[in-house]
Structure formats: C-alpha cells, structure tokens
Chains A and B, each alone.
Chain A
Amino acid sequence: MSKNKEAKKPSKASRFKTPEVVFLDGLSNQQSSKYRLAQGFGVLFAVSLVLQAWALANVFSDMALHQSFSLSLLVIGLFAILLRALANFGRERICTSASRDIRYGLRRKLVSHLTELGPARLRIDEDAALSTRVYEQVDALDDFFSRYKPQVFMVTLIPCVILLSVVSISWIAFFVFMLTAPLVIVFMIFVGHKAAQANRRQFSVLAMLSNQFMDLSQGLAELKRLSRTDEARDRLSYSAESYQKTTMGVLVLAFLSTATLELFASLSIAMIALYLGLGLIESLPWQQGSSPVTLTQAMFLLLLAPEFYLPLRQLGNDYHAKQKAEAAATDLLEILNTVQSTAKASAPDSNLSADINKQAFLSLRQVGWLESGRHRLAPISLDVFKGERVWLSGESGVGKSSLLHLLLGFEEAYQGEFYIEGRPFSERNLAEWRTKLAWLPQSPEWVNGSIKRNLLLGIEAPSDDVLQEALRKSQCDDFIQALPNGLETSLTELGSGLSGGQMQRLSIARALLSQADVWLLDEPCSGLDTETANAVLNTLNQVSKGKTLLIVSHDTHPILWADKHWSLNKGGLHEKNNQTIA
C-alpha cells in the first residue's frame, strides 16, 4: 500500500493523470449532458448575479443621494435575486441527480462484477469489507460529483463574467481583480496541497485508531479473563489523545493557509471599498478633486467584489471532497481491476485434444494458468472417472483452490484442454453443469436465516422424509433435535452456538439434499481440531460413496478413504499411492 502511494507521487508531479483521476473523469463523462445543463444554469446564475448587482447599485445610489428609488429597478433587482435562487435550485437538483445516477450505476456495476468474480473476490477482501466499499466508498464520491465537479466550472465562469462587466467601469478595480485572482489561485493550489497532506495523514491515523479499537474489542473476552480491560482503556485514551495532538498540529497549519487565502480575499474587498470611498470624496492621492467612478458604479463594484472570490473559497472548502473521492476511487478500482479472465481460453491444441480421454468424466490436459507471468497453476493433466474420489494435497499457493474455481466455472482464462464427459468445457452450458455441483468450502456458505432455509437454499423443497434422511446420514439429527427451535433455529453471522464440526455437517446435509453428483470440497477440515476433523471426514466417507468427489486437504488431514491421492506443487501434479500413507 505504502509503496503504491510512493509510486503515485512522481507520476503526479510529471502531470500524468493518475488512474483515479481517469476513473473519476470517465464516470462524470457518463453524465456529461446533465453537467452541461448544470453549466447552463451556472451561466444563468452568473448573469443574474451581475443584473442583481447593477439594479441594486442603482437603487442604493438613488436612495443615498436623493432619498428615493425607482420601483422598476428594485423589481428588476428582486427578479434577479429570484432568478439566481431558481438557477441555484436547478443546478443543485441536476448535479445531485447526476451524482446519484453515477453512484447507483457504479454500484450495480460493482455488484455484478463481484458476482462474476465468484470466489476470487476474496482475493480483494472479506465480504464485510467489500460491502463497505460497495456502499460507503461509492457514497463517498457524492460530494465530488455533486459539488466539486460543477464548482470547477463556476470557478472559471463567475470571475470571468465579473471581470467582463467591470472592465468598462473601472480600470483600477479590473486590475485589482486581475492581479489578485492568480494570487488567490496560487494560494489555492498551495492550500489544496497542504490540505491534501493533512487529510491523507488524518485518514490513515484514524484508520489506525479504528483498527486498534477493533483489535482490542475483538479480544475483549481475553482481556476480561486477564483483567486487563482498564489498561486497554488507558491505551485507547492515550492514543486518542496523541491523535488529537498530532492532528491539531497538522490542522493548525492547514487552516492557517486557508485563513491566509481568506484574509487575502477580505483585504482586497476592503481595498476596493477604500479606493471607491476615497475616489468618491475625490481624495485619491493621484486624482484629487475628481471622482473616477460615480456612486452607482462604486456600489456595483462593491456588490460584485465578494462574489468574485466566493466561488474560489467554496472550491477551497470542497477540496476535501476531491481527496475523499480519490481515496475511495483507489479502493473501487481495486475491485474493478481484479479481472476474472484476461483472455479466453487459447485456441484448441489438436495435439492435446487428441490426448483427451473421452471415457473419463473429467479430463484435463496441460491445464494451467499464467497470471502476470506467474503460474497460478502449473500445467497439469489428469483424468477423473465417474464415481471416483480424489484427494488433492499440496502447499498453499500452488493453485489447489484455483483448480476448484475453474471447475465451478468462475475462471475462464486457463490454458490447455479441459473436457467434461468427452466434451470441451467451453461448449457446455454452464448453468446446467453447475446444477451437478455441490460446493463445500473451508467456512461453509450461509445466509441469514433458519437452518432449514439454509439447507434448502436454491433447491425445491423436498419431502420431510428426504430431509430427515439427509440429516441422519450427515449426523446432524442429534444436535438439531437438541436445539430448542430445531430446524427453525437461525444461523446468524456469528455465535449460533454450533461448533465448526456441526456447521460442516450441515453443509454435508445440504450437499446431500441438492442431489449433486460432483462434490468439490476446499479444505473442509482446516478450522477443526483433529478429533472433530476425523469425525467429519468419516461422515463424508460414508455419504459420498458413489459421488465424484474432489477434495482439497492438507497432509495434516489425510483423506485415507480417497481412491486417488494427487499432490500438487509448483512443478505440476504427482500421483501418490494413498495406501502407503495409510
């Protein structure tokens, strides 16, 4: 992560667009018509701004000089204010709607992308953290699209319009604006840079604080047993205090630069006011005895002066929106860039195809895949016959799980030839193939709901006898009967009181109910102690007879009843004699 950030800095300096900026630009281009409409409203806003200033300046000067005013000018002025309010209203509505469309569209895209990734999504993060990205991080883009993005246009538009309307009235005011605007912009960049640094630092420290809290909170039971909760509280208190100190150190500087900018704007308004005042009483050092502007013109300038700097100051306030959006974009890009397949399977190799064993249920020839030059799975060849039970072992990272994902149909970028029942995998109907499968991963897949709902997830409800039979075979009946609510007990995300072994038994029951004849198991025993694991494996042995079964398991949990034992390593697949180990 830190490396990543370092790498980004020089690219920013050399004015290349970072992937985040490209990503955000691409998203906002989706709504370019809305943004154009918003710009139209922006123009209306700017015009009504000038109109308002002109009309009110006339009313004011009449009032000051003649104690009276023209009703029509007042009406024009008020009409301009109304126009301004309406333009603002329209602009706001359009920008928020553009932001909504972008965010909800992006969210749909992310969800469907994660769906396609299947088990590979866990390479990015765990599900809870992914949900934060899909919801919170996408919403973190809101301010950027609804405020910052349109504001960038206003920042160029409004000062230009004001300069144009001022140039014919007073050269001096025009030059004051002209000279201060670039200075303000220079300050802006400076401030933005500072604020960005402060923000980034604050974000990372805050994340660290949350992390510390979560760590202590997760281990709270342990802390209570050790009677160390007060010490932990002190630790939290101490780190919150030191966070406060360091953050304030940064913020004092960051705000100081914002304040300098504000002061700058304020002082130039005051300067113009003073110049106008002195000019009106004909006491300018260089122009005594005559006034460079009339009172109406002076009023007009005075009313426009704060408006000239306002958009810049707003942009400065919204700058954090950009920071936030870029930080979120980094996380979102990580999801979108995790691709399931870069290229479809290579053209069929006739040599390999010829070698395929058409009698076998599964036949793989030189199947493997390269990802960025690294073998995620070394090319392997194997045949699995119907009803055969195969134990696949090997160190972590050699691609055992990837092989299972391939069989599940979630990985398509493999090389080599892969046949099922004598037909190429790519020609098979994926949905139909998947109905034959049962999937038992390391931690069983559960949705929120009752045990029954989970057992029948996605299948037609079977008769009660069938259900009881499955529970009996998987040895779930005893402990389910002991539950006060039986099958209706809900399996919540945490702490249902069922042990890991019982959970695995439930997933065996589910596999039995689904009538699948190909079972894929990914380290079903890795979280269990040896005794429980052996008991679960025994059950598996009894219920899986006659099924085609592929089980990934470490040597620590040997599958002694398997028909074949294959050991996978970086070099490829080696068949071992299962009986010698037994």
Chain B
Amino acid sequence: MKKTTKLSLKQLLFANPWGFVVPVVLGVVASLSGVALLGVSGWFISAAGLATSVGMGLFFNYLTPGAIVRGLSIFRTAGRYGEQVSSHNHLLGLLKTLRLWVWDQRVAKDSANLYEQSRGDLLQRLVSDLDQIIRWPLVVFLPWIYALLSYTVVALFAYFILPALLWPMAVAALLHLVVVPYACGRVASHAVHVGQILGVHRRSRFVSLFSALVTLTIRGHWKDYAKRLGQLDQRQLHTELLVQNAVSTGRLLAYIITMGLIVSSFYLVSSIEPETGKWVLLEGVQGTWMVGFILSLLAVHELVLPLVQSFVAQGQSYVGLRRLNQLYEAPKDSEKRFSTNSKNDINHMSFEHWRGFHASSGMGNAPIDLTIQSGDKVWLRGLSGSGKSTLLASMAGDCLVSGDAVINGVKCDLYDNAAYQQHISYLPQFPYIFQQSIAANLRMGQADASEEALWSVLEAVALADWVRSLPNALETLLSSQGRNLSGGQRKRLALARLLLRKAPVLLLDEPFDGLDKATIETICKSLQNDYKPDILVLVSHIDSRLGDDCQVVDLS
C-alpha cells in the first residue's frame, strides 16, 4: 500500500477503523459505567434511607441495586482496561503506518535533494512529531466522545426527572464540550504554533553556535551569541506560560460551569415555601432521583475536565502534522523509464555536452563529449576540483546534468532514473555502510547470494582475511555508519557489495584511496578477471594496473 496522499487528522481516524472502534466502545462502556456508578449508588443509599424512615425498610429490594452497583464497578474497570490495551495496540499500528509514510516520502525524493533535512531535524520529525500526531485520537478525540455520550445519558435521566432540566443541561453541555475547549484551544494554539517554530529555531541556533564555539570564544564574542540564545529560550518560556495559563483557566471555567448547572438545576426543581423559608421540591420530583442526578453530574464533570487540555493537544497535533507534511512529495506525473528494453544490457553510452553539477552551488565539470562502448575502460583524470567526481555521479544518475545522454542508441534522462540505475553499479567517494551485519550489508547487492559467493567477493577485495579474523565472521554487526571500519575497509566492503550485483557498468570513484600496493593489486586482478564489468569508468589519482590499459580522459 503505497500512500501518496498528504496526511490529515481525519485520515488518521479512519486509517484502521476496526482497530479504532474497539477502544471507543470499551471506553464508552467504562465512562458510562463510571457515571452510572455514582448516580445509582447515590439513589440507592438515599432510597434506602427513605424507605427506612417511612418504615418500609424490610421490604426494600436491596439485592438488585446492590448487584447493579457491583456490576457497574466491574464494568468500569474492565472497560477501562480493555480501552487502554486496545487503544495502545491501535496507536502502535498507527505508528507503523506513519513511519512507512515518512519512508515513502523519503524514497520519493530525488537524489540531489535527499539530504535537505539535517539528521537532527529528521529525527525530531520522526520522534516528537509522530508522537504528537498518533496521540491525537487518544488524547483529543476519545475523551470528547466519552464526555458527549455521558452528557447525553445524564440528559435522558434529567428528562425523566423534569423535562425543564434539559435547558441548563444543553447550555452547560455546549459550554463544556464546545465553547470553553474551543476558546482555550484558540488562545493556546497561537502560542503552540509560535512555540513550535521557536523550538525549531532555537535548536538550529544552538547547533549552529555550538559548532563554532571555539572560534566564537577565541574572538571573545561568545557571550553576545549565548545571550541571544538565552533570549530565544525566554521567548519560549513565555509561550509555554501562555499555554499553561489557557489550560488552567479553562479548568477553572469548567468548574464554574458545573456550579452554574447545579445551581440552575436546583432552582428549576424547587420553589421557595414562604412560611418556612425552605426550598421545596416541585410536585412529582423525587428527592432520591435528584440525588442520583446531582451525583452523576459530578461524575460527568470529571470527564469534562481533561477536555481543555486535549484541545490544546490538538493544536500540537496540527503543528506536528504540518511539519510531517512538509516531507510530502507529490507523486511524479511521468514515470521515468529507461527507454530501451530493460532486459538488454547497456552496450553503448554516449554523452554530448555533458555537464554534471550540484544543485546548490552549481559547481561541476566543464561540458564534455564522451562515447563508451561495451568492453571499454575509461580513466577520468584531472586536478582536484576539476569535477571528476561530479561527472561520475552524473553518469550514475545521482546529480543534476545539462546535455544529452544516449544509451544503447536511445536518448534518455539519467537523473534519478531507477530503471537505468539497475544496470549500473556506482561506488561514490563516501559510500554508506549500514548498521547491520557484514553479510546483510553484502547481500544488499544480491539478496540471495550464497555464503561461498560472499567469501569469494570478500576475497576479491582483499577483506576475507580480516573478516575471518573477526569472532563472528560474516555475522559481525557493523556500528553506525561503519564507524568501526577504517576508510579503506569501508570502501572495499561497499565495492564488494557492488561486485555482487554483477551489473554490466561499473563506475568507481577513488577506489584505491588509502590502500596499500598489494591490496590495490588484488582488487585490480579481480576487476580484470572474475568480476570484470562490460564497461568500467574509473576516477583515481593513484596509478594502478587497472589504469594501464584504460582510455584516459583528462578533464583539466
């Protein structure tokens, strides 16, 4: 399921409707049981008291209400438990969906813009933004549903006591469920947005300043910069204060509304008796029922209290959502295809006025014309900065180009062309080693490679002895970004991975940097025999046996 739409809160709600229904139902059962528990037990006790006072105590059926009270308390607990379990299960499912969504967006990005976001920024989006979004159904939506339903049930009860009670109920419900949370959410949402922006700004300022800490300190200017960082923090504090004030004030308002509701209910069901000065209940209104009603109102109040906070949380979810949607990549209208029959191997490549360049700086090589045929070996040479690496990357479809490329006699667009890239193997200057085992890293080249194939390719790049010396051999886990490997080992491992692919075109950027003579010799021998590509393009400033029979292209 490739998701290519933008994210929205509605979509989150319906991402897995059945997974969502279960916690909703259980949560409703639990909340209603909680309200009923208080109401019924209030009624039960007052009715019992009344029965005794009128001498009917012995005939009072206490078994049924007693059973109901116990039943409700069990329902409440079991419902709450089921809700917690099922909602967390749902939440984890959402987490997976969202993570894969982010991944798909990353994959859809073209190579030149792949690393627009810094690592820290991506991590923040991945962790805190996702966290804020997935909590939305749980923190915002569900509590609101519970409060709404309990209000409805209590209103039904109120109708049986005295229909006029519906009026204050409706007004209070409107205020409790809509007006106050919305108003507080509105007030806070601006602060939430500002806070989020400030947070991102503050972090990038922090990283930027600290990365130049020594220079700034040496120049005696650190204090000014640090002060500005502190000011940013102060502004953040201010927004935090605003949000917290909105939440506390909202809670206070919720209390006041509840009080108003209780006062008006009492006013509606009673009238003053002038002689005694006492307030007496209207005809037809049962005192015991009234007790149950007021108690259940207090229980509803407990359900309403968290709503203010949840609307503020909604603001946070929105911000998180917006930030995640910044990763969104519109689906490409036309799929770029390697125009010739994809099964055919590349046997002829010709480049006209070909110039590769970097998107941000526009730097690259001077335009060249180059034709390569099956069996050719090309050695690109040139001074540092003449754009050899950029040229090679552009031939691999990794960076922006001007000029035309004709592959197997057909003109095609190489940049970010997945079908073309299947036919070539490109070793960049700083290849990436994954935080997986050596075998898994190698098998990225060929998923079903046998263990013998792995050993023989390791032999070919002169790494076999080193791997054999490791206690876990092929299963050795490599650390993050291959940090426990030397530069040369990292490069050779990446080369081995490429050789396993057996692609007809091999593009190598400085494969020999940092290697000793004997190792270079071994690799050359492999590339000339067992792992000989149809077409080889080499960038290297080191003389080697491989370079001797190459066609040399000098870029400077």
A75–B497 Cα distance when bound, in Å, is 81
Q: When each residue 264-280 of chain A gets 1 if its CB lies under 8 Å from chain B and 0 otherwise, what string results?
A: 00110110011011101
A530 touches B217 (CB 8 A): no
A112–B222 Cα distance when bound, in Å, is 11
Q: When each residue 274-292 of chain B gets 1 if its CB lies under 8 Å from chain A and 0 otherwise, what string results?
A: 0000111100010110110
Residues of B within 8 A of A434 (CB): 217-220
A89 touches B211 (CB 8 A): no
Give 17 A-B pairs besides A221-B398, A282-B57, A446-B208 with Cβ atoms closer than 8 angstroms. Answer: A60-B42, A62-B287, A63-B46, A74-B266, A85-B255, A104-B233, A127-B207, A127-B210, A225-B398, A252-B85, A255-B84, A259-B78, A276-B48, A482-B362, A493-B207, A498-B361, A529-B429
B7 to chain A, nearest CB (A): 17
A281 to chain B, nearest CB (A): 4
B212 touches A128 (CB 8 A): no
Within 8 Å of chain A (Cβ to Cβ): is B541? Answer: yes
Provided the pairs A63-B287, A100-B241, A530-B513 are in contact, do residues A131 and B207 lie with their beta carbons within 8 angstroms?
yes
A67 touches B280 (CB 8 A): yes
Please provide the 3 A-B residue pairs with the shortest distance between their CB atoms, ordered closest to farther.
Answer: A458-B219, A497-B361, A295-B49
Residues of B within 8 A of A439 (CB): 214-215, 218
B214 touches A263 (CB 8 A): no
A85 touches B206 (CB 8 A): no
Smallest CB gap from B419: residue in A = A227
Within 8 Å of chain A (Cβ to Cβ): is B128? Answer: yes
A70–B281 Cα distance when bound, in Å, is 11
B46 touches A262 (CB 8 A): no
A374 to chain B, nearest CB (A): 22
A69 touches B279 (CB 8 A): yes
* Contact for A112 among B48, B226, B425, B432, CB less than 8 A: B226
In the complex, which residues 532-555 of chain B have their Cβ closer than 8 Å to any Cβ of chain A? 541-542
Within 8 Å of chain B (Cβ to Cβ): is A108? Answer: yes
B361 touches A89 (CB 8 A): no
A224 touches B218 (CB 8 A): no
Within 8 Å of chain A (Cβ to Cβ): is B74? Answer: yes
Within 8 Å of chain A (Cβ to Cβ): is B11? Answer: no
* Contact for B119 among A218, A241, A459, CB less than 8 A: A218
A62–B278 Cα distance when bound, in Å, is 11
A527 to chain B, nearest CB (A): 9
Residues of A within 8 A of B374 (CB): none
Within 8 Å of chain B (Cβ to Cβ): is A210? Answer: yes
A70–B402 Cα distance when bound, in Å, is 90
* Contact for A445 among B52, B70, B211, B278, CB less than 8 A: B211
Residues of B within 8 A of A274 (CB): 66, 69-70
In the complex, which residues 84-140 of chain B have their Cβ closer than 8 Å to any Cβ of chain A? 84-85, 88-89, 92-93, 95-96, 99-100, 102-104, 106-107, 111, 114-116, 118-120, 122-123, 126-128
Provided the pairs A63-B290, A118-B214, A233-B103 are in contact, do residues A218 and B46 lie with their beta carbons within 8 angstroms?
no
B510 touches A529 (CB 8 A): yes
* Contact for A224 among B50, B233, B421, CB less than 8 A: B421
Which of B38, B99, B234 counts the most A-chain CB atoms under 10 A from its CB? B99
A228–B216 Cα distance when bound, in Å, is 44
A66–B76 Cα distance when bound, in Å, is 33
A470 to chain B, nearest CB (A): 15
B157 to chain A, nearest CB (A): 16
Within 8 Å of chain B (Cβ to Cβ): is A114? Answer: yes
A104–B529 Cα distance when bound, in Å, is 65
Provided the pairs A85-B252, A259-B81, A447-B208 are in contact, do residues A118 and B363 lie with their beta carbons within 8 angstroms?
no
B interface with A by C-beta (< 8 Å) = 37-38, 41-42, 44-53, 57-58, 60, 62, 65-66, 69-70, 72-74, 76-78, 80-81, 84-85, 88-89, 92-93, 95-96, 99-100, 102-104, 106-107, 111, 114-116, 118-120, 122-123, 126-128, 199, 202-222, 226, 229-230, 233-234, 237, 240-241, 244-245, 248-249, 251-252, 255-256, 258-259, 262-263, 266, 270, 273, 278-281, 285, 287-288, 290-291, 294-295, 358-363, 384-385, 396, 398, 418, 421-422, 425-426, 428-429, 431-435, 444-445, 447, 480-481, 494, 497, 501, 510, 513-514, 541-542
A302 touches B398 (CB 8 A): no
Name 15 A/B residue pairs within 8 A (Cβ), A-sorted.
A62-B287, A63-B281, A218-B119, A218-B481, A224-B418, A224-B421, A225-B398, A233-B104, A266-B74, A266-B76, A274-B69, A303-B295, A495-B115, A496-B360, A497-B359
A410–B433 Cα distance when bound, in Å, is 35
Within 8 Å of chain B (Cβ to Cβ): is A82? Answer: yes
Provided the pairs A100-B237, A240-B95 are in contact, do residues A221 and B81 lie with their beta carbons within 8 angstroms?
no
Residues of A within 8 A of B291 (CB): 60, 63-64, 299
Residues of B within 8 A of A209 (CB): 99
Provided the pairs A64-B47, A82-B255, A295-B46 are in contact, do residues A213 and B214 lie with their beta carbons within 8 angstroms?
no
Smallest CB gap from A226: residue in B = B444
B42 touches A302 (CB 8 A): yes
Residues of A within 8 A of B280 (CB): 67-68
Residues of A within 8 A of B294 (CB): 56, 60
Provided the pairs A60-B294, A96-B244, A210-B126 are in contact, do residues A65 and B259 lie with their beta carbons within 8 angstroms?
no
Chain A binding surface, main DSSP class: helix
A416–B163 Cα distance when bound, in Å, is 92
Residues of B within 8 A of A229 (CB): 107
Provided the pairs A68-B278, A215-B434, A233-B104 are in contact, do residues A100 and B76 lie with their beta carbons within 8 angstroms?
no
Residues of A within 8 A of B249 (CB): 89
Within 8 Å of chain B (Cβ to Cβ): is A247? Answer: yes
B212 touches A457 (CB 8 A): yes
Within 8 Å of chain B (Cβ to Cβ): is A107? Answer: yes
Residues of B within 8 A of A368 (CB): none
Q: How many A-B residue pairs have CB under 8 A?
A: 418
A489–B360 Cα distance when bound, in Å, is 9
A135–B290 Cα distance when bound, in Å, is 52
A506 to chain B, nearest CB (A): 12
Residues of A within 8 A of B116 (CB): 495
Q: When each residue 237-263 of chain A gets 1 if its CB lies under 8 Å from chain B and 0 otherwise, what string results?
A: 100110110011001100110110011
Smallest CB gap from A92: residue in B = B248
Provided the pairs A82-B255, A226-B501, A227-B421 are in contact, do residues A280 and B45 lie with their beta carbons within 8 angstroms?
yes
Provided the pairs A221-B398, A224-B418, A259-B80 are in contact, do residues A68 and B216 lie with their beta carbons within 8 angstroms?
no
* Contact for A270 among B70, B128, B425, CB less than 8 A: B70
A244–B95 Cα distance when bound, in Å, is 9
B96 touches A273 (CB 8 A): no
Which of B95, B203, B218, B288 counts the most A-chain CB atoms under 10 A from its CB? B218
B50 touches A78 (CB 8 A): no
Within 8 Å of chain B (Cβ to Cβ): is A39? Answer: no
Provided the pairs A281-B48, A281-B62, A295-B46 are in contact, do residues A134 and B73 lie with their beta carbons within 8 angstroms?
no
Q: When each residue 428-453 of chain A gets 1 if its CB lies under 8 Å from chain B and 0 otherwise, what string results?
A: 00010011011101000111110000
B513 touches A448 (CB 8 A): no
Provided the pairs A131-B120, A244-B92, A493-B208 are in contact, do residues A93 and B421 lie with their beta carbons within 8 angstroms?
no
A89 touches B384 (CB 8 A): no
A277 touches B259 (CB 8 A): no
Smallest CB gap from B253: residue in A = A85
Provided the pairs A86-B252, A497-B358 are in contact, do residues A224 and B45 lie with their beta carbons within 8 angstroms?
no
Residues of B within 8 A of A306 (CB): 38
B41 touches A273 (CB 8 A): yes
A49 to chain B, nearest CB (A): 12
B226 touches A115 (CB 8 A): yes
Provided the pairs A82-B255, A497-B363, A529-B429 are in contact, do residues A130 and B210 lie with their beta carbons within 8 angstroms?
yes
Residues of A within 8 A of B263 (CB): 78
Provided the pairs A115-B213, A118-B213, A130-B210 are in contact, do residues A211 and B435 lie with their beta carbons within 8 angstroms?
yes
Q: When each residue 47-75 of chain A gets 1 if its CB lies under 8 Å from chain B and 0 otherwise, what string results?
A: 00000000010001111111111110010
Smallest CB gap from B212: residue in A = A445
Smallest CB gap from B435: residue in A = A215
Residues of B within 8 A of A216 (CB): 103, 434
A63–B418 Cα distance when bound, in Å, is 80
A54–B287 Cα distance when bound, in Å, is 18
